[in-house]
Chains A and B, each alone.
Chain A
C-alpha cells in the first residue's frame, strides 16, 4: 500500500472560479471522454464479473446470476475479513481522533511549539511507503517488544500512526475555520471548566473535521495492504484475502467471480466514504494535503 492509495478525498476547489470554460473544443471533449472511459470501464468490468455465469469467449457474459454474491458472503474467510477490516477501521479512526484532537487544541490555545513537531512527523507517512514503515516497525518491535510482533494491537497502532496526518489536517483545518482559540477564550472568560469547553464548545464546532478525519482514517485502514502484509499477515483483512485469492488463482472461474464481488463491495464502501467526506465539507476546502492549505490561505489574503 502506498501513501497514494490512502491519500483520499481532497475536494479543494478554488473559491474564485469565475473563469468558466464556456466553449468546449473537440480536443477537450476527447480528453474527458477517454478519461471517463479509462476510469469507468474497469469498474464496469469488475461489476459484470461479479454477476457473470461464464465469461470467457464473448464480448458480454454468457448469462447473469447472483450466485457469486450469495456464495461469497457465506464464505467464512470473507465474512471474517470484512469484520476484521471494519474493526481495524473503527479503532484506527477512534484512536486517531482521541489523540489528535487534544494535541491540535493545545497547539492552538496554549503551546504553538507543538505544531512544528507534529507537522514534521506528519510528513513521514506522507513521504515514506507504508511498506517501509511497516518493515521498520517489524524490525524495531523485534528489538524492543518481540511479544507484540504479528499481533492485532500492533497493527492497530501502526494504522493509527500512518493515518494520523489525515485526521490532523482535517481537525486543524476545522479548528482554524471555527476560530477555536477565540471561542475557547470566550468560554473560559464565562467560567466554563476545561471539560465543558472541550465538550460543549470545541467538539461541536469541529464536527466536520472530526467526521472527515475519521472517514479518511477508516478508509486508510480499509484498503491498506503493504503494512498488514509485512507486519501481521496472519490477520485476515479484505486486502489480505484479495491478495491471497488473486495470487492463488489458477484459472478456476469461481475465485475470479468472488474477487469481483469483494472488489465491488470495497469500491462501493470507498464511494460512500468519499461521498461522506464531500458532504461534510460542503463549501469548505478540505485542507488535507500539505500545500493545499497554504495556497488557499494565500488566495484569501
Chain B
C-alpha cells in the first residue's frame, strides 16, 4: 500500500518510513527544485558574489585599493551623485502623480478602470530603447511636440536628449505606470466602511485623510517610492538610447559609466565597472531591505 501513502505536509513526508530513505531523502525532498536552484546559483548568486569579491582583489592581495582609486575619480563621484539625484527626482514625481491616480483608479467603475489599467500596463511594459526613441520622436529637434509648439509660433528649443531633465521625462514614462500598478493593491486596504464610520463620527474628508487614510497608506506609498528609486538608478536602455544622440556630452550616470568602462577603457575598465556595479548593488540592497521592513510593518496592522 506504500504507493497510496498520502501526499501531505513536509512533516508527513519526513516521517514516512521507506527503503533507503536516509540516502534518498534529501534528493526526494529537493530533487524537482534542483534545476531551478542550479540555474539561480549559476546565473544570479555566483555572479553577484564574484562581482563583490573582485572589487577587493588587488595585485597585493585583498585590499581597498581599487575602491579608493575608482571612488577618488571625480567622474565616478559625479556619476553616483547624479544617478541618486535622478532616482530621487524620478521617484518623487512618480509618487506625487502616481499615488492620486492609483487611488482614483481603484474607485472607478470597472469599465473605465480596465481602460486605464490597460493604458498604464502597456506603458509600463514599454521600456528601454523604445522609450528613448519615442522621446526623440516627440521632443527631439524634429519631434512631433517640438514641431507643434514651433508651429504655433513659439520660439521653442527642446532640452538636449542627453540632459537630466530629458532623461527624467523619459523615465517617468515607465515609472508612473509602475508606481500605480504597484500601489493599486494597497489602495484596496482602505475600506469603504471606514470612511462611512468616519462620516458617522462627523469627520470631514480632510480629517479622514489626515487621521486614517494617510497613516495607513503611507508605508505602501513609501515602499512604492523606494522601488521606483531603486529601479530608476539601474535603468540603462533609456539612458543609452538618449545619451547617444547628437554627440552632446551626456549626463553622467552610474549605468552609462559602467557601459563606457566596458566598451572603451581596457586598462581600468572592468575594475571601474565592477566598483560601480557594486555601488549600484549596495544602493539596491539597502533600498530593498528598507522596502521589506516598511511593508512588514504596514501589514502588521491587518
Task: Tell me whether A and B are bound partners.
Answer: yes
- Cβ B192 vs Cβ A19 within 8 A: yes
Q: In B107-150, which residues have CB < 8 Å from any A CB?
A: 107-109, 113-114, 116-138, 142-145, 147-148
Chain B interface residue count: which class? Answer: 35 or more
Within the assembled complex, what's the spacing in Å between the Cα atoms of A283 and B153?
A: 50
Chain-B contact segment, one of A68-76, A205-213, A269-277: A269-277
A-B CB contact pairs (8 Å), 22 listed: A3-B234, A5-B126, A7-B178, A11-B117, A14-B106, A14-B184, A28-B104, A57-B147, A99-B35, A110-B7, A118-B37, A124-B40, A131-B234, A131-B258, A136-B50, A137-B47, A140-B51, A161-B39, A223-B128, A239-B129, A263-B134, A285-B185
Beyond A17-B188, A124-B45, A139-B270, is A295–B128 a contact (Cβ under 8 Å)?
Answer: no
Main secondary structure of the interface of A (DSSP, over half): helix
Closest 7 CB pairs of A and B: A14-B188, A129-B234, A5-B127, A136-B47, A161-B43, A102-B32, A247-B244
- Cβ B39 vs Cβ A185 within 8 A: no
- Cβ B125 vs Cβ A106 within 8 A: no
Say whether B232 faces chain A, with CB atoms less than 8 Å apart: yes
Say whether B158 faces chain A, with CB atoms less than 8 Å apart: no
- Cβ A110 vs Cβ B258 within 8 A: no
Question: B265 → chain A, closest Cβ, in Å?
Answer: 14
Question: A278 → chain B, closest Cβ, in Å?
Answer: 7
- Cβ A117 vs Cβ B117 within 8 A: no
- Cβ A140 vs Cβ B50 within 8 A: yes
- Cβ A2 vs Cβ B237 within 8 A: yes
- Cβ A267 vs Cβ B126 within 8 A: yes
- Cβ B234 vs Cβ A128 within 8 A: yes
Say whether B64 faces chain A, with CB atoms less than 8 Å apart: no
- Cβ A41 vs Cβ B33 within 8 A: no
Q: Which residue of B lies closest to A95 (CB)?
A: B39
Say whether A291 faces chain B, with CB atoms less than 8 Å apart: yes
Say whether A174 faces chain B, with CB atoms less than 8 Å apart: no
Say whether A65 faces chain B, with CB atoms less than 8 Å apart: no
Q: Which residue of B lies closest to A193 (CB)?
A: B3
Contacts of A301 in B (CB 8 A): 302
Contact with B33, one of A36, A107, A129, A161 (Cβ below 8 angstroms): A107
Beyond A14-B185, A111-B13, A270-B126, is A8–B121 a contact (Cβ under 8 Å)?
Answer: yes
- Cβ B13 vs Cβ A110 within 8 A: yes
Beyond A106-B33, A129-B255, is A225–B184 a contact (Cβ under 8 Å)?
Answer: no
Contacts of A12 in B (CB 8 A): 181, 184-185
Question: A298 → chain B, closest Cβ, in Å?
Answer: 4
Within the assembled complex, what's the spacing in Å between the Cα atoms of A249 and B302?
A: 54
Contacts of A19 in B (CB 8 A): 107, 192, 195
Say whether A188 faces chain B, with CB atoms less than 8 Å apart: yes
